[in-house]
Chain A
Amino acid sequence: MAKKLLIGFIAVIVSLWFLTPVVLIVFASLTPSSDFYDPHKLFPTKLTLDHLYKLFVVLDGWRATLNSLQVAGLSIGLSFLVGLPAGFALTRYVFPGKNAFRLSILLTRSFPMMIIAVPLVVLYLKIGISDTLTGVALAHTSMILPFVVLITSSILSGISVEYEEAGMIFGLSRFGAFLKITLPLALPGLAASAIFAFIMSWNEVFIASVLTLINRTLPAHILNTAMTSPDYFKFAAGTVMALPAMVFIFFTRKYLMSMWGISLK
């Protein structure tokens, strides 16, 4: 009993620790400017959507949001197109250099984006895809792909190979068995990792800022505009950035846990 109380207490503290700033940010983004700068008011007397409206409409935030969605969609598509077969090969086949391959995938994550970004700009200028969404999506793909390969391989390894073999015995080709048997079984996990990939791209600010000038994604756009605006705009921008990710993670938390190999009772 005492142990339960202690655990509950710690859980509350940890939740407060993480949630308080989020709540404050969301509140601040909804506070009218007059209340915001009034030192006598700790809490707003009324709420307004004014800042969010201005951020989206006046400051062109909606276009940046659309850009972000396109970039995220494209990079998820590309990284699953390449990463899923690679992950499948890593779990189902034995081939020479398998461990070296797995390690080299991890190694690609050890290069800081900043080092890659500048040569990337030069390269993009040469081949004419600088300041395009495709360019950003390709860069994001390089960031997401290692994650997709490793995660899909761990998801697929959780699905017994005998299901697939049964499919092949009962009339399916190897690819057919993957499509009809393995894929439906892996789908929840794959969806969760797609959402995680989406969040990686959605939150990525450095490459997007370096590679684009006009066609900016939302975080790059915010860095450019809201950060030079009054504080309540910054909070509004923070809300816009944080909420989708939080909502997604909340709804897929069960799969995210299993994806990373953590199990909840």
Chain B
Amino acid sequence: MAQVILENVKKYFGQVKALDGIDLIVKDQKFVVLLGPSGCGKTTLLRCVSGLEKVTSGRIYFDGQDVTDLPPRSRNVSMVFQSYAVWPHMRVYENIAYPMKIKKYDREEIENKVEWAAKLLNIHELLDRYPAQLSGGQRQRVAVARAIVLEPAVLLMDEPLSNLDALLRVMMRSELKKLQERLGTTTIYVTHDQVEAMTMGDMIAVMSAGKIQQYGTPEEIYHKPANLFVAGFIGSPRMNFLEVEIQRGKGEVFFISESVKITCPLKLSDKLRDFPQKRVTLGMRPEHIHLSRVESGYPLRGEVYFSERLGADTIVHFKVDEEKIVAKIPGDVILEEGGSVEFFLDLSKIHVFDPKTGRSLV
């Protein structure tokens, strides 16, 4: 258990800036998720924390101790790899016991600890088997047991669920989270799956292009995205973006495009009063566009051109003049393609971004 602090960590591979100045504080006992598309640097960041990768510059501290120049074995970290990396030439028991054997624990203690970890992960009856005789899910449990058996200061997980089938993934998601809460181990978890991030993380660091775009709780990330990238990356289907012009008149602010003229809600207009540019990008989530009239709803009239029926929900793509907008409505509503519809945009939930910098203006 430890608090992890990253200070301006940079990692370059030749000309490529994999990490471009990362500042991050992971509080003790917290579960932090690094979330981002592939190539954003999240795995590199995890490997820098583990010590498998040397940072180009910057410092890493565990509980105040500078570990930047320590090799992985001296950092008291453990890791669950994407491919599990359960050693194929050792039985399950030996795999779990090996970290302690290296550190010269006595026999009895090793036995007790392996027993404890195996029980925790429900792999008791597998201890005598070789990894080749296990399924993917079982191998994963072995990898987790090996990682927690020494009660590390920091537990690192690199997309541990990505090789499991969908059903197992959902199950392991809650199980891993429960396990972490029970053990209280500071955990850094890498994933590209936003559902994993939202359900498991105490905090989420959304990454892109070697930088942390936003660091916050799942609620903050979803309700108050700091910029266009985070807004577009979190949420499914993706947030609708609309380029509009700002028009100011008699105490009110309007967002105007060829297809819409939206009266800006009061609490937003205060913040936009001093914004010097003429254009902004509006963001509206599909789940905030409703079929029935809502308070502070703005009517969007258009033509349905495609709908995806997912069962519980229906994703409706419709056109308001030339603007394509996506709405998420209950699955029991069936809309004819080509028919005209009226939706209501909940104005209390809209986001406004500076189109040049991408930063949120609210």
Mark A residues whose CB is within 8 Å of B: 160, 162-163, 165-174, 181, 184-185
Contacts and interface: CB of A to CB of B under 8 A. Distances in A.
B264 interface: no
A166 B79 contact: yes
Contact of B88 (A168, A169, A174, A185): A185
19 contacts: A160-B85, A162-B81, A162-B82, A162-B83, A163-B88, A166-B81, A167-B87, A168-B51, A168-B52, A168-B71, A169-B50, A169-B52, A169-B72, A169-B79, A170-B99, A170-B150, A172-B102, A181-B87, A185-B89
B146 interface: yes
B73 A162 contact: no
Given A171-B99, A171-B102, A171-B103, A166 B73 contact: no
B158 to A, nearest CB: 9
Contacts of B79: 165-166, 169
Nearest to B156: A169
Interface residues on B, range: 20 to 34
Which residue of A166, A167, A171 has the most chain B CB atoms within 10 A of its CB atom? A166
A166 B80 CA distance: 8
A169 B77 contact: yes
A173 B52 contact: no
Nearest to B81: A162
Interface of B: 50-52, 71-73, 77-79, 81-83, 85, 87-89, 98-99, 102-103, 146, 150
A221 to B, nearest CB: 42
Contacts of B50: 169
Contacts of B102: 170-172
Nearest to B84: A162
Given A163-B85, A184-B89, A170 B71 contact: no
Q: What DSSP secondary structure best describes chain A's contact surface? A: helix
A169 B71 CA distance: 9
B78 A169 contact: yes
A169 B87 CA distance: 13
Which residue of A168, A184, A185 has the most chain B CB atoms within 10 A of its CB atom? A168
A166 B85 contact: yes
A217 B89 CA distance: 39
Nearest to B73: A171
A181 B102 CA distance: 12
A239 to B, nearest CB: 39
A181 B51 CA distance: 19
A168 B85 contact: no
A166 B83 CA distance: 11
Contacts of A166: 79, 81, 85, 87
A105 B173 CA distance: 49
B89 A165 contact: no
B85 A173 contact: no
A172 B51 CA distance: 13
Nearest to B47: A165
B142 to A, nearest CB: 11
A170 B146 contact: yes
A45 to B, nearest CB: 54
Contacts of B83: 160, 162
Contacts of A184: 89
A170 B155 CA distance: 12
Contacts of A167: 87
B178 to A, nearest CB: 24
A165 B73 contact: no
Which residue of B78, B83, B87, B102 has the most chain A CB atoms within 10 A of its CB atom? B87
Contacts of B98: 170
B186 to A, nearest CB: 15
Given A160-B83, A162-B81, A169 B89 contact: no
Nearest to A160: B83
Contacts of B87: 163, 166-167, 181, 185
Contacts of A174: 71
A165 B71 contact: no
Contact of A173 (B71, B88, B89, B146): B71
B140 to A, nearest CB: 13
Contacts of A171: 73, 99, 102-103
Given A160-B83, A162-B83, A166-B81, A172 B89 contact: no
Contacts of B52: 165, 168-169
